[in-house]
Amino acid sequence: MPRRWSMVSTEKPLELVEFTPAAPSAGEVIVEVAGCGVCHTDLGFYYDGVRTNQPLPLTLGHEISGVVTQVGEGADEWLGQTVIIPAVMPCGECDACQRGKGTICKTQKMPGNDIEGGFASHITVPARGLCPVDMDRLKAVGLELADVSVVADALTTPYQAAVQAGVGEGDLVIINGTGGVGGYAVQVCAAMGATVVAIDVVDAKLEAVAKYGASLTLNARNFDARALKGEIIKFAKENGLRTREWIIMECSGTAVGQKAAFGLLNHGATMCIVGFTMDKLEVRLSNLMAFHARLLGNWGCPPELYPGALELVLNGKVKLAPFVEHKPLDQINQVFKDVHDGQVIRRQILVP
């Protein structure tokens, strides 16, 4: 019997529910879930009062991979395919979508927010935008289908940020916050030819990314704002890199982190807001004017960019295995608590 873990309120544990999926409508498929990653957005819904678009009860989870087991009319070619489900699925038909702006599609669907999510054995989703996974190539790099669930957000979100910011050869990219999304941001930007500086407050996270793309790691607890910027300037000079036009990716999703990242702006800089927090902060926006800098938001990733992000995994330029850990889906309540309490370093993937 298909099962899913439902969030009924912010004050109760997630509840196990058996259900019978309805037959998929035209353009829809049912995916048997191989794995679903635990994202800090899920914790925001559960612990921090961030509202879901669909009222509770609702199954959370938007980092999903699996096998298509049923198809609706017009989706026959997907039957039996191994896929990644995009974390944000634009309609593909509206004016915004037609102009290449699917991330602001008014009718986009996000599992675990707009529709039932992936902390389940099965999920029904639109077929449009599914990303096929070549299992032979995946096995060749030592990965399982569950592992690439984290491509759907943890990897594709910083990938879109890097594409949007124009990261390339010769750039100095600063990643602020290297757990989860930030760890993949380090690898993505290094794969695109940039020199990467990684900043965090947890030494274990910095040690991990030092092995996978970070040329300099800095613990922000050891520097004030001026000294932190000075350390990066020194590194840039020593390595023949630009001391202006830095690309800064704020991935910590904290007010303190956002303020620290804003303080690293310099002439011609680009700052990408990748992490999310409900907290507010005070900054001097005139710095953007004075530095002729830019500030970019980054919501999800359009499905058309997924194959490029997945290719980085399949060709070995981005490593997933050192940064993920499988847990049984039945342990979801304990895993949520452990992630929320900062007890784990690796991305947790819940496997039905």
pLDDT at 53: 95
On the question of a cis peptide bond just before residue 2, with omega within 30 degrees of 0, the verdict is no
The confidence band for 320, taking pLDDT boundaries of 50, 70 and 90, is very high
How many angstroms separate the CA atoms of 296 and 171, rounded?
17
Which domains, ranges and CATH numbers included, belong to the chain?
3-153+301-351 (3.90.180.10), 156-297 (3.40.50.720)
Report whether pLDDT(210) > 90.
Answer: yes
pLDDT at 180: 84
Report whether pLDDT(341) > 90.
Answer: yes
Nearest to residue 331, comparing CAs of 310, 308, 351, 316? 351
What are 199's strand-pairing partners? 176, 218
Average pLDDT over every residue of 274-303: 94
Scanning the structure block, which residue is given the tokens 């099962």?
3
pLDDT at 32: 98
Average pLDDT over every residue of 233-257: 97
Report whether pLDDT(80) > 90.
Answer: yes
297 or 49, which is more confident: 297
- Whether 204 contacts 223, CB under 8 Å: no
Q: What would the pLDDT profile of 140-158 be if each residue is shown by its tens digit?
A: 999 999 999 999 999 999 9
Report whether pLDDT(72) > 90.
Answer: yes
pLDDT at 11: 86
- Whether 181 contacts 158, CB under 8 Å: yes
Burial class (CB in 10 A: 0-12, 13-18, 19+), 207: middle
Average pLDDT over every residue of 254-276: 96
pLDDT at 225: 92
pLDDT at 278: 85
Report whether pLDDT(179) > 90.
Answer: no
Rg for the chain, CA atoms, rounded: 20
The confidence band for 188, taking pLDDT boundaries of 50, 70 and 90, is very high
Q: 166-171 contacts: CB < 8 A, separation 24 or more?
A: 166/270, 167/192, 167/193, 167/194, 167/247, 168/192, 168/193, 168/194, 169/193, 169/194, 170/194, 170/241, 170/242, 171/195, 171/242, 171/245, 171/247
For residue 122, the one-letter residue type is H
Report whether pLDDT(109) > 90.
Answer: yes
**Beta strands 324-328 and 15-18, pairing class:** unpaired
pLDDT at 290: 97
Average pLDDT over every residue of 79-102: 96
How many angstroms separate the CA atoms of 147 and 267, rounded?
39
Which one-letter DSSP state was computed for residue 21?
P
